[in-house]
Structure 1
Amino acid sequence: MALLVHDALAQKKHLLVEAGTGVGKSLAYLLPVSCWCLTTGKRAVVSTYTVNLQQQLVNKDIPLVAQMLEGNLGTLNYALFKGRGHYLCLRKWNRIYEETLSRLQLVQADEDDKILETLSQVIDDGSWDGDRDRLPFHISNQLWSELCSESMRCMSGRCPFRESCFYQRHRRYLESCHLIVVNHALFAANLRIYDDTAGRTSLLPGYEAVVFDEAHHLDTVFRDSMTFNVGHNHLRRLSDDTLRFISRDPLSQLINPHERSRVQSDLAHILGLMDAALAVLSPDLLYNELRYSRSYSRYAGRDKYRLQQPGSIDDRIPESLRNLSRVVADWASLDLSDEDRFDINALARRYMEMAQVLDSLNALEGDGDSYVYWSEIEGRGRNKHVTLSGAPLEIGPYLAENLWTAVPTAILTSATLSTGGSFDYIRRQLEIEAEEAVIDSPFDYYNQACLCIPKDDRGSQPNNPAYDDYVSEMVLEIVDLAQGRTFVLFTSKKSLQAVSSKLRDRIEQKGYPVFVQGDMPRQALLREFKQSGNAVLMGLDSFWEGVDVPGDALSCVVLAKLPFPVPEDPVMEARETLWRAQGLNPFTHYSLPIATLKLKQGFGRLIRSKADRGAVVILDTRILTRQYGASILKSLPPARLTNDLNDIARAIAPAN
């Protein structure tokens, strides 16, 4: 693999390379990329999806490579760079802290005030780099949102704190780095900003090579970066920021009470109009209108509804937002400091941008051809609210125009890029032309693992209401055979809750601790599972990949259902319609490759070293009875195939 990466860099080509578990792909690309950086003086970016991989690269793998190359090629400079929201904005901090000190002369400190005082001590100490993740204490998301750096509110070179700015200090250091590690979301944001500003602005310094590890996520991440949304919470925050601004000096003195009252009244009116519009577009209400149709049972209870009727948003909302934008912009002519004038102009732009988003949603621009729009229920209980969103259907043309032709070398790697030995799916989705290679895992899957698919008719009907009962019965038997030490991975929260509530007490009575996703944070859940040594963990999407449990603590992975994408998702629904119009079969074009890659990820949780042994159990027997099953099985690691659950115990038993 290292030679393939070396050649791609030397020949300025793109490369798709699937590297099986245990290959050591991180070192296989880091070594040639680092050599290339040091010998050419050019810069490379390494982009990952998960934080865990970022930490592994920066704290373990890159230092090892740097040490290996130090004597011959020189010092390798590298850095982990995060989005600006991770860093404290000193300008915002200075204002909020001064206001807090003034207020505390009159009232007693609450919990947030105490956090601010502790934060002040950390800042004064001078050893903190401004990164929230490096704080020695917890700070709430709500409080951090008032303190963190934001692009819309950044004065950049005009900021009075520009020399000491944490975020800019990190950015300046990047100029001296050969290697920059980021996540996919930040890379996608950088590309979007660079494109929107015709190359005048970027988050990252120039680079001539990029490595995308965990590259199977690129389609989703780049689409998310181009997705826009608006809802009550967005408008509420804009309203709160405005009211807070005009209630403090100098605007509280410069704006007459009548105008201030009128702004408050206008904001309350717009919020009322927005809530009324969102209520009408709530998926609950829209699906309820289908209750007498044959499709109601298919959609009932879903959180998203595709919007296909233009003009569904009250025109008074975007018009009122534009009016308020003009009112706010007029305040910039008052006797203000440069800093206050900047904040006012930024506030006015936010109103105008929200109006433009609502205009796009109201017109449904490009609906079905290039974009899809939907309403979505987010939160639960008192925090339940409706958000309106829009997203591009395909991101391949965007990447082809703005990335693959712009960067000389892109390396895309993952343990799961191909299906049936072919890269056709990933090439189609990303519209990339590249060299291709599959590097097989060094593990002896045939002797280290078995793949058990029970022959049970109940397993062929995963949409039957009784399927969860079948899963529960099978999991109970499997847990005994594996003596705990099992992951049970689901594709839906509803099934997870149904099975876990039915089995938790019964499994724990056998002496095996049960951990269910949602009980505690993901990392805490994983830590408890490892420490227990004989536990059962039931999880959703985030446990299908990026989880490493070598050794005896995990000896069995149960996959409750084949992970096909939900066809009723608005983006998926619109893409299927588009593909059919293009003469493509959505199932073979998209759903089957997605399920295959996801299943490979789930399987990959089991064998993490040459010493590991165990069993993967797929309870969805469609993999045996449907024509597509052979294609999926061909893509999985070559473990011993069995239909007998008793083979699980034999697979887990120590090798002779």
Structure 2
Amino acid sequence: MKSLIDGRVRLFVFSTKKARLSIIVSSKLHKEVDLAFSPQGALAKSVHQYRPRQSQYDMALAVTSAISEKHNLILEAGTGVGKTFAYLIPALLSGKQVIISTGSKNLQEQLFFKDLPLLLTMFSVAPKTALLKGRSNYLCQLRLEKNLQKISQMSPQVVDELIKINQWASMTKDGDIGNLTSVAEHSATIATVTSTKESCTGKKCSYYDACFSRKAKIKAQDAKIVVVNHHLFFADRLLKDTGFAELLPEADVVVFDEAHLVPDVCINYFGQQIATRDIDRVLNQIIDVYRTELRDSIQLDQLSQRLLVKLSRWQNALLEEDVTDWRHVISNKDLATQSWDLLNELTTLLAVTTEHVGRSETLDNVVGQLSSIVAQLQLYFECNDQNAAYSVEPSGRFTMLRIAPINIAKQCQQLFDKQTQWIFTSATLQVNRQLKHFADELGLGKAKQIILDSPFDYPNQALFCVPRHLAKSGQTEANVNQLVDVCTQAINAAQGRTFILFTSHHMLQQVARMLQRKVNYPLLIQGQASKQSLLNKFRQLGNGVLLGTSSFWEGIDVRGRLLSCVIIDKLPFVSPDDTLYRARAANAERSHNDPFTSISLPQAVISLKQGVGRLIRDEKDRGVLILCDNRIVNRPYGEAFINSLPPMSRTRDLDTALRFLKSIP
């Protein structure tokens, strides 16, 4: 009995010492972070014209507390807070294993190539760091070699691009295709030489030791600080959950920057997607195997050819019916019959290909892919999950079938384990001065929640105008004419230097056609070139007008006099016909909640904040925001939008806004 008591005492003493040690470490980290942001600290000594910002300091201390006291944190940091250094410095100084996840490749690269090296030098610390992207961002030497072997069959342009890629391949150290500058970023040739799961032969590959994708994964596993993007992070968590080898090390701390994107990424990874493009590719691979390897197996060719025809007819039928909800498809007898007929034929083809396993390495790989497609289609066609939305989405000449959960909170609670500190930050998380919507969506109700406003002088730097006498939303012709009139006046007053952000491609095209006849400033229209090309052109011109939809509402940083005006056509509410929204709305009603206030309104507020955030990017910026939707001022819910936006000066008089624009040099 005495030894047992002694053991308990020893255990208690050990625990007490451990608690004391934790307090000491916590105190040490707080002191180091406090010093770093002080007027005498490393930032002041190393950053030209550094000025302490209270909001940045407050955020750094909040992140420090989350790391040292081991709690989760949701923090909105308005534009200009300087959130990158506010979370990077505590993460680096903590000495812990940290994963930083971003929503875009641009921010991912800025963190790894600019911000991290600067801070490592500044604080004289040298943890191993790694940048890891999805495998499609890396050159596959084997695919390049196979393409070069068939170069005589290719067009002169493709030959030229392959030669340039091959020259680059001999010099690159990491194989990151983003560093390839001699070939256009959207060239179709690039997709034929990057790494894919389907083309990877693993240890059988002659380039296994030199494989760029593999080396990047090994480096990430060995690093103390790893920079990834949200899609890759959740793909890794999915691999862990299914028992496969993970890509990333176990982390003490995970920081999600651009965290407003996380819920949509979670929906994507907790759901399933079936692309008919993949079915088409598998069928063509089987036909190719028949023609090049298994000429004695004509049934492979006949079944695959027949299925290509059925697949095409089925997709055309879906397109003609203009269905977006699979539940509507299965209520249509003809479409339902065609769908099950397609699945039955694919099942027959799977049985036939299985009989030839072992005769062709290519066919063996295809059998696994076809088996997965058949299983996924079976699950999708049965449509048994009442807590999921089953959507049909056109994708060029192909179709995407998507199963999306309508509530991800439970899955997220399991995903965000207690052994890790989870930190979520973005400039756009709060709705009506609360972070509850974001926290509830991810099942993070117990996380500490903080809102830090932008340090910019919005009342003097920005003017928010909702012009009087706008037509009611939905009166299309009147809406278009008024929008064009407002845009024309604002563009002329701003001497170009304008973003026009739309909620639909249709409205964008209508306005673009009319503006081409009314303004003399260069118009840069989404779809004419890549997003990055349009932005570069906008910066080079100095008087451009850029027209874009959702992809231009966020992740764009144009500072100074280059951008003086942002015009938004209307409040960005999700379409009531959206399949996922309808499923979520039905679920909300079953729980006696109002779908509009609990789902539609919060999403629209966050989206609008993203668009508004394009205007003021620096403490010296000045500009005008014009919203051509009077619902924000004459509907009760408009207050939620206004309370969530920066405190800009406001006017209903367009002439006042035009005078403000003309005053900007």
TM-score range normalised by the length of the shorter chain? 0.7 to 0.9
In the other structure, the counterpart of 1:351 is 370
- The verdict on how the C-alpha distance between 1:516 and 1:111 changes in structure 2, with shifts beyond 3 A counting, is closer
- The verdict on how the C-alpha distance between 1:132 and 1:177 changes in structure 2, with shifts beyond 3 A counting, is same
Tell me the TM-score normalized by structure 1. Answer: 0.86
- 5+ residue gaps, structure 2: 1-58
What is the aligned-residue RMSD (CA, Å)?
2.4
How far apart are residue 407 of structure 1 and its match? 4.9
What SS is found at the alignment partner of 1:564? coil
In the other structure, the counterpart of 1:50 is 104
- Of residues 263, 281, 292 in structure 1, which corresponds to 2:300? 263
Matches of 2:466 and 2:340, distance apart in 1: 56
- Of residues 207, 211, 218 in structure 1, which corresponds to 2:251? 207
- The verdict on how the C-alpha distance between 1:470 and 1:128 changes in structure 2, with shifts beyond 3 A counting, is same
How far apart are residue 91 of structure 1 and its match? 3.6
- The verdict on how the C-alpha distance between 1:246 and 1:464 changes in structure 2, with shifts beyond 3 A counting, is closer
Matches for 1:117-516 after TM superposition, within 5 Å: 117-123=163-169, 125-138=170-183, 142-197=188-243, 200-230=244-274, 232-248=276-292, 252=293, 255=294, 257-259=295-297, 261-282=298-319, 284-285=320-321, 307=328, 309=330, 311-334=336-359, 341=361, 343-366=362-385, 369-379=386-396, 384-401=397-414, 403-405=415-417, 407-432=419-444, 433-458=446-471, 460-508=472-520, 512-516=521-525
Matches of 2:352 and 2:247, distance apart in 1: 32
Matches for 1:479-628 after TM superposition, within 5 Å: 479-508=491-520, 512-628=521-637
- The verdict on how the C-alpha distance between 1:333 and 1:232 changes in structure 2, with shifts beyond 3 A counting, is closer
Checking the alignment, whether the CA contact within 8 Å between 2:290 and 2:301 is kept in structure 1 is no
Matches of 1:630 and 1:306, distance apart in 2: 36
Matches of 2:280 and 2:102, distance apart in 1: 34
What code does the residue aligned with 1:361 have? Answer: Y
Matches for 1:89-100 after TM superposition, within 5 Å: 89-98=140-149, 100=150
- The verdict on how the C-alpha distance between 1:505 and 1:477 changes in structure 2, with shifts beyond 3 A counting, is same
What code does the residue aligned with 2:229 have? Answer: N
How far apart are residue 179 of structure 1 and its match? 1.2
In the other structure, the counterpart of 1:295 is none
What code does the residue aligned with 1:346 have? Answer: N
Matches of 1:48 and 1:593, distance apart in 2: 22
How far apart are residue 145 of structure 1 and its match? 4.0
Once the two structures are superposed, residues 258-294 of structure 1 have per-residue CA deviations (whole angstroms, 9 ceiling, x without a partner) of: 31x2211010112222233333333x3256xxxxxxx
Checking the alignment, whether the CA contact within 8 Å between 2:135 and 2:195 is kept in structure 1 is yes
What SS is found at the alignment partner of 2:425? strand
Once the two structures are superposed, residues 543-602 of structure 1 have per-residue CA deviations (whole angstroms, 9 ceiling, x without a partner) of: 211111111111111111011111111111111111111111111101111111111111
> How many pairs are equivalent?
601
- Of residues 115, 118, 126 in structure 2, which corresponds to 1:64? 118
Which deviates more, 236-245 or 439-448? Answer: 236-245
- The verdict on how the C-alpha distance between 1:142 and 1:351 changes in structure 2, with shifts beyond 3 A counting, is farther
Tell me the TM-score normalized by structure 2. Answer: 0.85
What code does the residue aligned with 1:377 have? Answer: P
- The verdict on how the C-alpha distance between 1:314 and 1:438 changes in structure 2, with shifts beyond 3 A counting, is closer
What SS is found at the alignment partner of 1:374? strand
How far apart are residue 419 of structure 1 and its match? 0.9
Checking the alignment, whether the CA contact within 8 Å between 2:494 and 2:662 is kept in structure 1 is no
What SS is found at the alignment partner of 1:507? coil
What code does the residue aligned with 2:72 have? Answer: H
Checking the alignment, whether the CA contact within 8 Å between 1:307 and 1:375 is kept in structure 2 is no
What SS is found at the alignment partner of 2:543? coil
Matches of 1:279 and 1:461, distance apart in 2: 33
Matches of 2:523 and 2:191, distance apart in 1: 35
Q: Is 2:41 aligned against 1:22?
A: no
How far apart are residue 388 of structure 1 and its match? 3.1
- The verdict on how the C-alpha distance between 1:587 and 1:109 changes in structure 2, with shifts beyond 3 A counting, is closer
Matches of 2:583 and 2:606, distance apart in 1: 22
Checking the alignment, whether the CA contact within 8 Å between 1:329 and 1:348 is kept in structure 2 is yes
What SS is found at the alignment partner of 1:456? coil
Matches of 2:529 and 2:188, distance apart in 1: 20
What code does the residue aligned with 2:383 have? Answer: L
- The verdict on how the C-alpha distance between 1:457 and 1:344 changes in structure 2, with shifts beyond 3 A counting, is closer
What SS is found at the alignment partner of 1:175? helix
Once the two structures are superposed, residues 202-222 of structure 1 have per-residue CA deviations (whole angstroms, 9 ceiling, x without a partner) of: 122222211111111111112
What code does the residue aligned with 1:568 have? Answer: D
Alignment identity in percent?
A: 31
Checking the alignment, whether the CA contact within 8 Å between 2:101 and 2:227 is kept in structure 1 is yes
- The verdict on how the C-alpha distance between 1:136 and 1:485 changes in structure 2, with shifts beyond 3 A counting, is closer
- The verdict on how the C-alpha distance between 1:388 and 1:396 changes in structure 2, with shifts beyond 3 A counting, is same
In the other structure, the counterpart of 1:292 is none
- The verdict on how the C-alpha distance between 1:534 and 1:141 changes in structure 2, with shifts beyond 3 A counting, is closer
In the other structure, the counterpart of 2:29 is none
- The verdict on how the C-alpha distance between 1:213 and 1:588 changes in structure 2, with shifts beyond 3 A counting, is same
Which deviates more, 549-558 or 112-121? Answer: 112-121
Matches of 1:46 and 1:128, distance apart in 2: 23
How far apart are residue 90 of structure 1 and its match? 3.2
How far apart are residue 52 of structure 1 and its match? 2.1
How far apart are residue 464 of structure 1 and its match? 4.1
